[in-house]
C-alpha cells in the first residue's frame, strides 16, 4: 500500500517480529521514509497483509513462537491477495540451507540480525523499486491484454457488419428472398454445432470455425449482384440458357471475395470461408453440381453445410414459380437428397436439429406481400 503525501507516494512496510524492541528499532530506521505497520505474531501479520490495500513490503522474522516466519511466508504466497508482496526475512541464522528454504518459499532477500540501518534501508528501497517495476509491467500487460481483447472484439464486429452488409446488398437485388440471409446464418450455426458432436468433425469445427461459418453465411449469394435483372428478377422459371448465366453467380461471388482477399494481402483471411461457401454451395455430393462438379468429401465442409441450409430455406420460401413447402415436406426432401445432392453426415445432423432450424424459420419468417 502506498499513501499519497502531496505528490509523493508513501509506501507501507509491515514489520513482523515477536520482539517489541526489534520492531521499535526497525521502525525508527524506516519511519522517516515509509509508513510502518507492525505485528508480533504470524496470524495478525496475515490479517494485516490481507487488508485492502496490502502493504508494499514485509520484513518477516524467521524465529517466532507459534507460527514461524517460514509458515507465514508460505501462507502469504499461497493467497492471491498477498502473493505478490515481496518478503524479506530477518534472521540471526546464517546457515545456507536456512536461506535456501526461505527463498524457495518465495522470499526475495535475507537481512541478518543484528540489523544494520544502512543495509536495511538499502535492501528495502531496492526491493520496493523492483516491485514498482513489476507492478508497472503487470499493469501494462493487463492493459495490453484488455486492449487486444477490445480491438479483437471491434474487428469481429466490423467483420460481422461487413458480411451482413454485403449479403444484404445481394438480397436487395432479389427482393423475394426476404429474411433469407438471417435464417441461413442462424441455421448454419445450429447445423455446425450439431455436426461437431460427431467425433470426426469436432476438430474441423471448433468455436472459432463455427463463429466464422455464422458470419460468412450471408455472403453465399453475393455473386448474384452480377446477374442481369432480366434473369435474376424474371417472374418465372429460367430457360436453360438463363440458368447457365444464373449459375455463374458462384464464380462471380468467389472472384469478388478473392479480389478483396488480395487487397488484404492474405488468402487465409476471415473471408476465406465466405469465398469457399460462395463457390461451392451448389456443388452436389454425387458430383453433378456446379460450378466445378466436385463430388463427395472433396467439396469443402462449409459448402456442404451451406448446401443443406440454403436448399431447406429455398424450399420453405415462396417464389413466383413455386409455393412455399411446409417444414415437414422440406425436411423429407432434404432426407431424400442424402447421398446424392447432400453429404449424408450433414443431412443426419440437419435431421437431428430440424426443430431448432424450424424455430429460426418461424422467428425470421418473411411477411406476406399483399397486392
Domain with CATH 1.10.3210.10 in the chain: 174-363
Name the strand (E) or helix (H) holding 146. helix 117-173
Collapsed DSSP state (helix, strand, coil) of residue 237: coil
Cα–Cα nearest to 309, from 195, 139, 144, 188: 188
> At residue 261, does pLDDT exceed 90?
no
- pLDDT score of 309 more than 70: yes
Q: Mean pLDDT, to the nearest integer, of 234-259?
A: 90
Give the residue-averaged pLDDT of 131-135.
84
pLDDT of residue 206 exceeding 80, the answer is: yes
H/E run at residue 80: none
Is domain 2-143 in CATH 3.40.50.2300, yes or no?
A: yes
| Delimiting residues of CATH 3.40.50.2300 domain(s) in the chain | 2-143
Q: How far is residue 81's CA from residue 141's CA, in Å, rounded to a whole number?
A: 19
Q: What is the mean pLDDT of residues 37-55?
A: 93
Q: Is the pLDDT score of 133 beyond 90? A: no
Whether the bond between 13 and the residue before it is cis, its omega within 30 degrees of 0, is no
Checking if the pLDDT of 209 tops 60, the result is yes
Predicted local confidence at residue 181, as pLDDT: 84
CATH architecture of structural domain 174-363: Orthogonal Bundle (1.10)
Whole-angstrom Cα distance, residue 163 to residue 156? 11
Q: What is the pLDDT of residue 102?
A: 83
For the cut 60, the answer to whether the pLDDT of residue 129 exceeds it is yes
Q: Which residues pair with 4 in a beta bridge?
A: 9
Q: At what angle do helices 207-216 and 117-173 cross, to 10 degrees?
A: 40
Q: Which of 151, 38, 140, 58 is nearest to 107 (CA)?
A: 58
Amino acid at each position: 500500500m502506498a499513501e499519497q503525501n502531496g505528490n509523493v507516494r508513501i509506501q507501507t512496510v509491515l514489520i513482523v517480529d515477536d520482539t517489541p524492541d526489534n520492531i521499535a528499532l526497525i521502525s525508527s530506521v524506516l519511519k522517516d521514509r515509509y509508513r510502518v505497520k507492525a505485528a508480533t505474531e504470524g496470524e495478525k501479520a496475515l490479517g494485516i497483509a490481507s487488508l485492502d490495500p496490502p502493504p508494499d513490503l514485509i520484513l518477516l522474522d524467521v524465529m517466532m513462537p507459534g507460527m514461524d516466519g517460514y509458515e507465514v511466508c508460505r501462507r502469504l504466497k499461497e493467497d492471491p491477495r498477498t502473493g505478490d508482496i515481496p518478503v524479506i526475512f530477518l534472521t540471526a541464522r546464517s546457515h545456507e540451507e536456512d536461506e535456501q528454504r526461505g527463498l524457495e518459499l518465495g522470499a526475495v532477500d535475507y537481512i541478518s540480525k543484528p540489523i544494520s540501518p544502512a543495509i536495511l534501508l538499502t535492501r528495502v528501497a531496492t526491493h520496493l523499486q523492483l516491485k514498482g517495476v513489476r507492478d508497472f509491467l503487470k499493469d501494462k500487460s493487463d492493459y495490453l491484454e484488455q486492449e487486444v481483447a477490445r480491438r479483437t472484439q471491434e474487428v469481429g464486429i466490423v467483420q460481422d457488419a461487413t458480411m451482413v452488409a454485403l449479403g444484404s446488398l445481394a438480397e436487395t437485388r432479389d427482393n423475394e428472398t426476404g429474411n433469407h440471409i438471417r435464417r441461413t446464418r442462424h441455421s448454419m450455426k445450429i447445423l455446425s454445432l450439431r455436426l461437431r458432436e460427431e467425433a470426426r468433425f469436432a476438430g474441423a469445427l471448433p468455436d472459432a470455425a463455427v463463429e466464422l461459418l455464422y458470419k460468412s453465411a450471408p455472403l453465399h449469394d453475393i455473386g448474384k449482384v452480377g446477374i442481369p435483372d432480366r434473369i435474376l428478377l424474371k417472374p418465372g422459371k429460367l430457360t436453360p440458357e438463363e440458368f447457365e448465366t444464373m449459375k455463374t453467380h458462384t464464380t462471380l461471388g468467389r472472384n469478388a471475395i478473392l479480389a478483396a482477399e488480395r487487397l488484404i494481402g492474405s488468402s487465409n483471411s476471415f473471408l476465406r470461408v465466405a469465398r469457399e461457401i460462395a463457390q461451392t454451395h451448389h456443388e452436389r455430393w454425387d458430383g453433378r453440381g456446379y460450378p466445378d462438379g466436385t463430388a463427395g468429401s472433396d467439396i469443402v465442409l462449409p459448402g456442404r453445410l451451406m448446401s443443406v441450409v440454403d436448399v431447406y430455406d429455398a424450399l420453405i420460401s415462396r417464389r413466383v414459380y413455386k409455393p412455399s413447402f411446409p417444414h415437414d415436406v422440406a425436411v423429407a426432401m432434404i432426407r431424400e437428397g442424402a447421398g446424392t445432392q447432400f453429404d449424408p453426415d450433414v443431412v443426419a445432423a440437419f435431421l437431428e436439429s430440424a426443430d431448432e432450424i424450424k424455430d429460426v424459420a418461424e422467428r425470421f419468417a418473411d411477411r406476406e406481400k399483399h397486392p
